[in-house]
């Protein structure tokens, strides 16, 4: 593994199909100072545990001092508005004094098929607003009939659990004509339920048909003090019916995902469907992949 990712801490696997033979998984690796940088690993699409290539250096590093992403970036969603252009939506982390941190969404652009990226701007494209003060992040974007559809998590609250500050946020939705300019507030798409939940992690949406949407996401639970995976279905991509028990993936005893499991990302190649995900401590030992068995 190259020096920029020598820690082995690989967070938020974000798969993109380069060809029928290669899945490029964009990943974020934390350095010794804990700040994330974006890179990739190319995998054999037929055998996704076989590594074909690993980026020699970061594709996107942390932002300039004082910017919203100066404490690290985490790539979470990729779309191609044109054949020669790729948009990478990423979370930017900013440390704070009176709350632990804030997370807002930035945009990086590639003109060479995802081999290099540059920032669209030094400021976030989802910045704080009165109704979404501390978190506007975890973006997943889908281009559907020329419209950019965005699912993301947003919130304005922190709670204390076991003497630790934890964020509170739910799932929001909105649309854009260019994928760059968005409204100050999104529509509530799925709220947290019960006393045990206090947030959702990076949503991942798959559209199977005109009225067939699948949502893969992570659930922050107080009882576990960690993430578990969730699954939901929708006919319009906005209102969801939760079917968390059908996700089919959970923690594994004495494995890299023994205490937590999160950041599911699903991709289909030929006749197979794979789910990439992280385990304990947000990918401390890398990421895993599971194959769908009907």
51-84 pLDDT tens trace = 999 999 999 999 999 999 999 999 999 999 998 8
Asked whether residue 32 carries a pLDDT value surpassing 80, the answer given is no
Confidence of residue 185 (pLDDT cuts 50, 70, 90): very high
Average pLDDT, the chain: 94
| Residue of 113, 93, 115, 111 lying closest to 103 (CA atoms) | 93
Give Cβ neighbours of residue 63 (< 8 Å, ≥ 6 apart): 69, 70, 73, 92, 106, 119, 122
Identify the pLDDT of residue 1: 65
Residue 294 has pLDDT above 80, yes or no: no
Q: Which residues contact 293 (CB under 8 A, 6 or more apart)?
A: none
Average pLDDT over residues 229-251: 96
130 — pLDDT class (breaks 50, 70, 90):
very high
Domain ranges (residues) in the chain = 57-291
pLDDT in tens, 242-281: 999 999 999 999 999 999 999 999 999 989 999 999 999 9
Q: Which residue has the higher pLDDT, 294 or 35?
A: 35
Confidence of residue 164 (pLDDT cuts 50, 70, 90): confident
Query: Can you give the pLDDT at residue 72?
Result: 96
Q: Is the pLDDT of residue 8 over 90?
A: no
Provide the pLDDT for residue 247.
Answer: 93
Asked if the model's pLDDT at residue 204 lies above 70, the reply is: yes
Residue by residue, DSSP assigns the chain as: --GGGTT--EEEEEEEESSSSEEEEEEEEE-TTS-EEEEEEEEESSSTTSEEEE-SS-SB----TTSTTTT-EEEEEEEEEETTEEEEEEEEEEE-SSSSEEEEEEEEEESSSSS--EES-SS-SB--BTTB-SEEEEEEEEEETTEEEEEEEEEEEEEEETTEEEEEEEEEEEEESSSS---SSPEEEE---TTTEEEEEEEEEEEEETTEEEEEEEEEETTTTEEEEEEEEESSSSS-EE-GGGS-----TTSTTSS--EEEEEEEETTEEEEEEE-HHHHTT-EEEEE---
Neighbours of 180 (CB within 10 A): 14
Contact partners, residue 40, CB within 8 Å, separation at least 6: 24, 25, 26, 27, 54, 55, 59, 114
Contact 144, 162 (CB under 8 A): no
pLDDT at 138 over 80: yes
The class of domain 57-291 in CATH terms is: mainly beta
């Amino acid at each position: 593994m190259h020096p920029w990712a020598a820690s082995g801490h690989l967070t938020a696997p974000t798969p993109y199909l380069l060809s029928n033979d290669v899945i490029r998984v964009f990943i974020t690796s934390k350095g010794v100072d804990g700040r994330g940088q974006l890179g990739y690993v190319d995998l054999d699409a037929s055998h996704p545990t076989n590594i074909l290539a690993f980026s020699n250096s970061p594709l996107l590093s942390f932002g300039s001092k004082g910017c919203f992403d100066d404490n690290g970036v985490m790539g979470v969603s990729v779309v191609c508005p044109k054949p020669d252009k790729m948009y990478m939506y990423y979370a930017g982390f900013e440390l704070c004094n009176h709350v632990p941190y804030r997370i807002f969404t930035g945009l990086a652009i590639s003109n060479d098929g995802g081999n290099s990226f540059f920032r669209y701007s030094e400021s976030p494209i989802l910045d704080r607003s009165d109704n979404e003060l501390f978190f506007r992040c975890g973006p997943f974007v889908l281009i559907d009939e020329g419209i950019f559809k965005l699912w993301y998590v947003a919130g304005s609250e922190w709670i204390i659990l076991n003497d630790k500050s934890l964020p509170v946020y739910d799932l929001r939705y909105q649309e854009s004509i260019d994928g760059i300019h968005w409204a100050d507030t999104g529509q509530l798409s799925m709220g947290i339920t019960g006393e045990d939940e206090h947030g959702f992690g990076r949503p991942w949406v798959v559209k199977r048909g005109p009225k067939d949407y699948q949502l893969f996401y992570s659930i922050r639970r107080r009882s576990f003090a960690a993430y578990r995976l969730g699954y939901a279905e929708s006919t319009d991509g906005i209102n969801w019916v939760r079917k968390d028990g059908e996700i089919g993936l959970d923690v594994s005893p004495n494995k890299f995902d023994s205490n937590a499991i999160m950041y599911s990302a699903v991709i289909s190649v030929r006749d197979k469907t794979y789910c990439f995900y992280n385990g304990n401590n947000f990918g401390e030992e890398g990421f895993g992949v599971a194959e769908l068995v009907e």
